[in-house]
A and B are shown apart, each in its own frame.
Chain A
Amino acid sequence: MMRFLLPLAAFIVLVGFLAVGLNLKPREVPSPLIGKPAPVFQSQSLHEPERILASKDNLGKVWLLNVWASWCVSCREEHPLLVELAKSGIVPIYGLNYKDKRDLALQWLSQYGDPYTVSVVDPEGRIGIDYGVYGVPETYVIDKNGVIRHKQIGPVTVESLEKKILPLIKELQG
């Protein structure tokens, strides 16, 4: 009896490990910045190059930082959702225009709509490095004290909005 049960048990354990392994998302590397103060940045506004925007301007409110670029295909996927979220007025969305060209970025916004309160430019990806950005789009939820509370890797989806981002914003604003 033991002769068959032991290999069977070992096999079931192995299948269990494989099943868990298959459902892991190696692309989504947990950010060590969650719970830490959002890195300080200071850069030009996309629309008004002479205007300098700084992260500390947002202290005292809950805000989203959305990393986007006109060359980013998945950004198009999440864009309608962001436009809708901006219209609802629940939370201000700040754009980080990552490694992009100004004219292309502006053209992209006029084509697909502009959900951003303002967009900050990061032409060389330096702010991106500070925020641990390794892919576009990425979205950060930042609280009133300027602490990063959540990072969405990849496009924002209806599911991630309803299950995670919106409840978190509500809680932080509360």
Chain B
Amino acid sequence: MNPVPSFEPLKNSFQQKIFSLRNIFSTKQFILLLALVLLSPLSWAEEALPVAEDPAIEKRMLALSEDLRCLVCQNESLAGSRADFANDLRREIREQLKANKSDQEIIDFLVSRYGDFVLYKPPVKPATYLLWGGPFVFLLTGAGILFFYLKRRRKQIEEPPLTEEQHRHAETLLKENKGNNA
């Protein structure tokens, strides 16, 4: 039968590990190491882009594809997607830009093939009226409900008129108050 290990030895080994780290690194070295570890993500934060022949075109292409949806990985933009499909479309956009096509012409080209779904910002047309108008309808409905609710509540908390006796009592109280002030 193995003896059940108590808590003590574990604690000791943990302390030993800390101790051994202290032995290996001086405090200065440790801080330096920590800084290196913390800063290292910055060095690979920027993803390598394919080397473009023309940086101006590449910039326009990226700006354009930022607002276009990749149909394969639907929650990514064409600019951000690594899918083969997105690659092909980026190539297509690049080529059309080189052929002096305007941004609108390229968007129309893609919409005519893939539909409005490629656009992150859908156009306003009968099919999308509800989409664009919906939030305002909800806002107005909410405001209306709030308005009527507050109106009803005001009625409920309206004070009942004072009785004759309460009136007299209030007047005497007010007179008393005036006398005190004078």
Nearest B residue to A131 by beta-carbon distance?
B113
| Interface residues on chain B, size class | 10 to 19
A-B contact pairs, 15 of them (CB 8 A): A29-B115, A30-B117, A31-B114, A32-B111, A32-B112, A32-B114, A32-B116, A33-B113, A125-B88, A129-B88, A130-B113, A132-B113, A134-B85, A134-B114, A135-B72
Q: How close is A20's CB to chain B, nearest CB, in angstroms?
A: 14
Question: What 0/1 readout, one digit per residue, does chain A (17-31) give for beta carbons within 8 Å of chain B?
Answer: 000000000110111
Per DSSP, chain A at the interface is: loop
**Could you tell me the distance between the alpha carbons of A31 and B92 in the complex, rounded to whole angstroms?**
19
Contact of B84 among A31, A99, A129 (CB under 8 A): A99
Interface size of A by Cβ–Cβ distance < 8 Å? 18
A48 within 8 A of B: no
Binding site for A on B (CB under 8 A): 71-72, 74, 84-85, 88-89, 92, 111-117
Nearest A residue to B113 by beta-carbon distance?
A132
Neighbouring B residues of A129 by C-beta, 8 Å = 88-89, 92, 113
A124 within 8 A of B: yes
Binding site for B on A (CB under 8 A): 26-27, 29-33, 99, 124-126, 128-132, 134-135
Neighbouring B residues of A125 by C-beta, 8 Å = 85, 88
Neighbouring A residues of B92 by C-beta, 8 Å = 126, 129
Q: How close is A41's CB to chain B, nearest CB, in angstroms?
A: 13
Neighbouring B residues of A99 by C-beta, 8 Å = 84
**Could you tell me the distance between the alpha carbons of A125 and B95 in the complex, rounded to whole angstroms?**
14
